[in-house]
Amino acid sequence: MTLRQHLQKRTDVWMGAVSRNRWRERVASVEALLDGWTNHTWTKDPVTFAVELHAPDNPSYREEMSRMRAWRCRARELGVPFFALTVVREPVAHAVSSFYHYVRIEKRRRAYHRGPAEDSEAGLVGSAIAHPQCVFLARGEKAYEHDDGPGSPRGNLTREDCAALATEMLVDFDWIGTTATIDEETVPILDYLLGDGRRKGRKRKPPAAAVRENTRVGSLLSANTLTEATRQHLQNITKWDRSLLYDMARKQFSFARDWKPRIEAAAEARKTKQHR
């Protein structure tokens, strides 16, 4: 289950997503909605407003986060709780997922991948780019459409660029999880923050079932079935993503250390209250 699907199941959360449309066409309307929400709705009828930043032309991390920092300051001025979270992905699994997302689905094929679009390990190795999560954060999603040559958005990316972004993320985000542990860590944190209330009297349609586009008969490539040579190649070209983003998130944002005790204490308090 994705975070969006989980939030959509709650009747005490309203979603404002900058997605499916172009960023610059949508973000202004979401900002206006957010400002109106914090100014009026929160004081009269407290409910959580969740904003998802996800669009085909997402700008770089710095452009998005400067906006998020302004939202955080505005929320603080109004006394409205604010919580920023994101997730990062294990680099080899991310490379395989990106391969199918951008290459196998014809209608979404881009110049993101350099090599052949054949559904094989050779196609995966020939098309994978270096440090894709760092590229996205530092240069925006449009950088995926360029090559790695000198002067290109991807070609001039340095390890220092990625390290600086990772340092900023430690300040900007209240939680950075991983996609592999969404159900075990990030979802419990959200439920703890939002509480158990579901706001009676307001019904929401369940999210539409995800439609998986799969034109191949048989099993797909996965991070667990790659040959050692392919796995080693992907690890070599995504080492910044691993050391500066993935490992950083797992070390600095510990569910067991920072959240599990609070969540368990809250659950115990609810049990005690129910038994009185």
Residue 162 three-state SS: helix
Q: How far apart, in whole angstroms, are the C-alpha atoms of residue 143 and residue 124?
A: 19
The per-residue pLDDT for 122 is: 87
Question: What tokens does 5 get?
Answer: 């699907």
The per-residue pLDDT for 45 is: 59
The β-bridge partners of 17 are 52
The per-residue pLDDT for 247 is: 96
Residue extents of the structural domains in the chain: 3-211+235-271
| Torsions phi, psi for 16 (to 5 deg) | -125, 100
Contact 106, 117 (CB under 8 A): no
Q: Which of 102, 105, 94 is nearest to 212 (CA)?
A: 105
10-residue stretch averages of pLDDT, the chain, 276 residues long: 80 65 65 66 63 70 82 84 92 89 53 54 86 89 71 80 94 95 94 70 40 41 89 96 96 96 92 78
| Distance (Å) of CA 212 to CA 2, 19, 100, 215 | 14, 18, 11, 10
The pTM assigned to this predicted structure is 0.80
